[in-house]
């Protein structure tokens, strides 16, 4: 059997750990060992109270004066679902017909392995600059005790000049898409209260459902038509619940939950004010309350050095000119952008979070070359 490419071998070790979010501490062992053997200073940080504690890894190699490029990712994964639905058991990390199978192959243990191997390869002839790995164990979960406190801690000691997040951004072929920003995210719950009663004696009750329907329609009205760099702001109602299984009972309240992905035409503060106004304007009968969750702000990376380094390196290795866009969901880039310019680039993500997640071995090898080329270009200031 031919010797495996280092990134493929490391990805197999990582996938073999069933690190459903939040990742257990030993999910970092193989990565810490490989980086330590390559001369990296390896730190393992735990954040959060005991019941919520999350382990994270920070490893860096300083070759001399020069810029500091971070490579960020996560080793936690979403649950695999029914193991019997998989062609290959989700944590077996089997290679078959040139394809590596397993939960996390795309999102994003394969990407973490490629970044780590590119960074270790760079150390062999590095003359300037610092490269670090910023790896969390809770990106797929609440993300409270991972990248957010880890980057804050790092930046106090080893300030970042730029960062690449290895999320699987490519759509149909490696290198076709790079994310240079993301829409913001805001979630909220609307509670419409009435008075429970018998449907035959409606005058003794107050049905909250008609008001809830009006509120829902008001929320769904368009917010904008998009901007130069972003898609239109979009609000999706994800749940409407009255908690009522009976046919002859008017419910006491209706709960509406929604999420908004907003562009750079809005701030979270202005968006909260607009949505509150819409809810108040649609309220006819009963008490209506809106409760907002913490928001993630919209951002756009306009740093030409980082963007050019990524775009040119990816094009050089893959032969594809990436589309630089801001579509899709959120990632830990939303935390990193508070400290330095950040761009997202990774492999094809057509099977992330799905049954039979897998990645071609050849793609992991080329992805490693992409990350190495990005490092070289970023250091060439």
Q: How large is the average pLDDT for residues 8-13?
A: 98
Give the model's pLDDT for residue 1: 54
Q: Which of 55, 107, 139, 357 is the catalytic position?
A: 139
| C-beta of residue 360 within 8 angstroms of C-beta of residue 98 | yes
- 120-140: per-residue pLDDT in tens? 999 999 999 999 999 999 999
User: Among the options 76, 332, 344, 363, which is catalytic?
Assistant: 76
Residue 342 zone, left/alpha/beta (φ > 0; ψ -120 to 50; rest): beta
d(CA 308, CA 303): 9
The model's pLDDT over 46-76, given as tens digits with 9 standing for 90+, comes to 999 999 999 999 999 999 999 999 999 999 9
Average pLDDT value over all residues in the chain: 96
Mean pLDDT of 187-195: 97
Residue 76 among the catalytic residues: yes
Q: What is the pLDDT of residues 67-108, one digit of tens each?
A: 999 999 999 999 999 999 999 999 999 999 999 999 999 999
Cis status of the peptide bond prior to 28, with omega within 30 of 0: no
| 196-207 average pLDDT score | 97
Nearest to 170 by CA among 111, 223, 130: 111
- Domains delineated in the chain: 6-182+298-379 (3.40.630.10), 184-292 (3.30.70.360)
Percent of the chain with pLDDT over 70: 99
Active site residue 312: no
- pLDDT for 65: 95
pLDDT over 90 (residue 156): no
Give the rounded percent of residues in the chain with a pLDDT score beyond 90: 95
What tens digit of pLDDT does each residue of 340-364 get?
999 999 999 999 999 999 999 999 9
Torsion of CA 80, 82, 85, 88, to 10 degrees: 50
Confidence of residue 366 (pLDDT cuts 50, 70, 90): very high
Nearest to 297 by CA among 244, 342, 254: 342
């Amino acid at each position: 059997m031919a010797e495996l490419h280092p990134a493929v071998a490391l990805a197999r070790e990582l996938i073999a750990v069933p690190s459903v979010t939040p990742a257990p501490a030993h999910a970092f062992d193989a990565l810490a060992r490989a980086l330590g053997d390559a001369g990296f200073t390896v730190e393992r940080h735990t954040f959060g109270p005991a019941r919520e504690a999350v382990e994270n890894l920070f490893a860096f190699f300083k070759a001399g004066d020069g810029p500091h490029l971070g490579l960020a990712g996560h080793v936690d994964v979403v649950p695999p679902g029914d193991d019997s639905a998989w062609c290959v058991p989700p944590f077996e990390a089997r290679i078959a017909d040139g394809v590596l199978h397993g939960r996390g192959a795309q999102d994003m243990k394969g990407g973490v392995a490629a970044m780590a191997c590119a960074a270790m390869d760079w150390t062999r002839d590095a003359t300037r600059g610092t490269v670090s790995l910023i790896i969390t164990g809770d990106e797929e979960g609440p993300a409270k005790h991972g990248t957010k406190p880890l980057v804050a801690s790092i930046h106090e000691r080893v300030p970042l000049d730029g960062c690449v997040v290895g999320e699987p951004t490519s759509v149909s072929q490696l290198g076709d898409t790079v994310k240079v920003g993301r829409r913001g995210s805001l979630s909220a719950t609307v509670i419409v209260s009435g008075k429970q009663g018998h449907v035959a004696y409606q005058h003794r009750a107050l049905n909250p459902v008609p008001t809830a329907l009006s509120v829902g329609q008001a929320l769904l009205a368009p917010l904008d038509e998009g901007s130069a760099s972003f898609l239109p702001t979009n609000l999706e109602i994800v749940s409407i619940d009255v908690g009522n299984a009976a046919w002859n009972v008017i419910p006491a309240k209706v709960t509406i939950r929604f999420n908004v992905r907003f562009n750079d035409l809005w701030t979270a503060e202005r968006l909260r004010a607009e949505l509150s106004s819409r809810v108040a304007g649609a309220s006819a009968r009963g008490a209506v309350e809106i409760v907002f969750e913490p928001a993630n702000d919209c951002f756009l990376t306009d740093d030409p050095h980082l963007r050019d380094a990524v775009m040119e390196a990816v094009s050089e290795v893959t032969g594809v000119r990436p589309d630089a866009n801001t579509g899709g969901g959120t990632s830990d880039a939303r935390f990193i952008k508070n400290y330095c310019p950040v761009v997202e680039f990774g492999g094809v993500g057509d099977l992330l979070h799905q049954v039979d997640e897998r990645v071609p071995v050849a793609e992991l090898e080329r992805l490693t070359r992409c990350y190495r080329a990005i490092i070289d270009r970023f250091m060439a200031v």
